[in-house]
Amino acid sequence: MKHALTTEFEAPYWREFRHVCGIDEVGRGPLAGPVVAAAVMFKQGFVPTGRLTAVTDSKTLPPETREALAGEIKRQALSVGIAEVDPETIDRINILQATFLAMNMAVELLSPQPEFLLIDGNHFRSALPIPYETVV
């Protein structure tokens, strides 16, 4: 069962790190097309407001609702990084490595840089000197 968006999971990390970033990907399932990763960082102590409080699983939302929520996230976030790896690169390095690449690229776009990463997934290979934890 999915739960509404909260920052309860980030709260313990905010005790030690000021800038905690969440990272997720989309596009690992399609046979053709890019893999895209988003890295989002909210201010320490952030509490979601408005439509963000009702989000449970973005994959179940209609595209127009996802677009509206993306705008809301960008407005409320401290920083957002979005990166894409093209199909040619995926074919060359494989989908898993392309996912890691997109995630690392998304983090590099953040300002300020995060001090800790929370990765949606069961494994990750970081190219950055930032501690992280995978979360399933």
Q: Residue 104 in contact with residue 126, Cβ under 8 Å?
A: yes
Which pLDDT tens digit goes with each residue over 25-43?
988 766 778 999 999 999 9
Which pLDDT tens digit goes with each residue over 61-70?
888 888 888 8
Q: Where in 1-136 does DSSP place strands (E)?
A: 20-26, 35-41, 79-85, 116-120, 132-135
Q: Which domains, from first to last, does the chain contain?
A: 11-135 (3.30.420.10)
3: left (phi over 0), alpha (psi -120 to 50) or beta: beta
